[in-house]
Amino acid sequence: MSTNVSKSVTKVAPENGADKSSACKVALIGFGTVGRAVAKILCESGNQSLQLTHICNRNIARKKQEWVPAGVVWTEDVDSVLDSDVAIVIELIGGINPAEQIVRRALESGKSVVTANKQLIARHGPDLLQLAASNGVQLEFGASVAGGVPVLPALRAGLSGDRLHGIAGILNGTCNYILSRIESARIPFSEALEEAQARGYAEADASEDLDGGDARAKLAILALAGLHTQLTPESVRARTIRAVDAVDFDYAAQLGCTIRQISRADLNGDTLFAEVGPCLVPSDSAFGRVQRNLNLVLTSGQYGGDMAFLGAGAGGDPTAVAVVSDVMFVAAALSGGRREIASQVLRPIVSSDFETAWYLRFFVRDQPGIVARLAQILAAHHLNIDSLLQKPGFEKNSLPFVITLEPCRDSMLHPALEEMSGLEFATRPCLCLPILR
């Protein structure tokens, strides 16, 4: 849908925008792939309400980037960040140690925390949320599950009014890449794994992905945020995908199915049914159609019914979007409510002049020379015919047929349509529909 869109967006700068001195100060701890992408978005966005003040990492001298504003402090010293006056700490170092201590100390010192740390939240989420609440600050972790799919923010903001009883998802991009590759190429598991490793979709030791450890940590977080249940990742059974082979896709296909690693949790009274592992799913189901390393999350609620969220599961940029969105959410709460919509509104020129391929359907009284006449008009307007379709079996006095055109702008097509509208053999106005690819 985005072929005609440049990547730069002109924003009308808010006249009444807060100047940087009143901006919310933000520190970044961990400057790997996601950290760099977060810094880039913060620096590029021109967002006046956020100010990046610190970037903290080991061997920081080697990490410096030219595009980071001069005022930002580069440091290896976590203490100096925690002792500073930043309002929000972004934790992107991952793992439990020392991330847990850093997050606890930040919350205890009255700073809100945004983290993408799946293991930390899966293990200590309820504790840390309690600690945040008792210190009057916020802890957000929207990037910890399916980074590019805003399912956690949606659970928090858009589905909080429902009473969810089920969550199921394709939460591990590595497994989905491997399984959908075996499906499409019928290669052995080992070959699909090697391919995933060569393309950077799987680590050298992929056990955490293949055996379900990664997905069950994410499921524990989804269960916490969506089902309000607390469970340890270890309490969720995980089955490996290593035993799935090409022949299983042949048999699954005979059953109208394919195979995906599914993480699922269903709440029934005090019991949470939960597990992670390869499952047969119908080929034409939402799960069955998820290809490559995409993520899909389905929720089931008492009032709102079923909902699906699909998007990029991981990657630096999508994860960074989730992190920055959380930072903006916390900053808005700190300043007493959102204002981004009200303060940064563009009044665009509105145009319907899309460039697309076109479907033109005619009803005509059959007579010689109709197609020649239409083709002549189209040619005169420099419009290229892509195909001509005519089904048999209609009456000669009102015959439907179709011309499709190669992509052109609406404004190019319009004069030709005008000219064709007056043709004496037409029994109905031409129906003109865009073809979206």
Q: At its nearest, how many Å lie between a copy of itself and the CB of residue 111?
A: 13
Q: At its nearest, how many Å lie between a copy of itself and the CB of residue 216?
A: 11
> Residue 99 class from Cβ within 10 Å (0-12 exposed, 13-18 middle, 19+ buried)?
buried
Q: At its nearest, how many Å lie between a copy of itself and the CB of residue 77?
A: 27
Q: At its nearest, how many Å lie between a copy of itself and the CB of residue 7?
A: 5
Closest to a copy of itself by CB, 58 or 237: 237
Instruction: Please work out, in degrees rounded to the nearest 5, the angle formed at the alpha carbon of residue 190 by the alpha carbons of 185 and 191.
Output: 45
Closest to a copy of itself by CB, 119 or 261: 261
Tokens of 95: 């793992």
Residues annotated as part of the active site: 218
Closest to a copy of itself by CB, 29 or 262: 262
Give the span between the Cα atoms of 242 and 247, in whole angstroms.
Answer: 13
Helix H, strand E, coil C: the string for 56-114 is: ECCCHHHHCCCCCCCCCEEECCHHHHHCCCCCEEEECCCCCCCHHHHHHHHHHCCCEEE
Q: At its nearest, how many Å lie between a copy of itself and the CB of residue 337?
A: 5
Neighbours of 374 (CB within 10 A): 24
Instruction: Decide: helix, strand or coil at residue 217.
Output: helix
Q: At its nearest, how many Å lie between a copy of itself and the CB of residue 84?
A: 22
Give the span between the Cα atoms of 233 and 214, in whole angstroms.
Answer: 9
Closest to a copy of itself by CB, 60 or 289: 289
C-alpha 367 chain-centroid distance: 53
Residue count of the chain, please give it: 437
Give the span between the Cα atoms of 26 and 396, in whole angstroms.
Answer: 73
For 122, how many CA atoms within 13 A lie in the half-sphere containing its CB?
Answer: 24
Closest to a copy of itself by CB, 40 or 75: 40
Q: What is the Cα Rg of the chain in Å?
A: 27
Closest to a copy of itself by CB, 78 or 111: 111
Q: Tokens 């359907």 label which residue?
A: 361
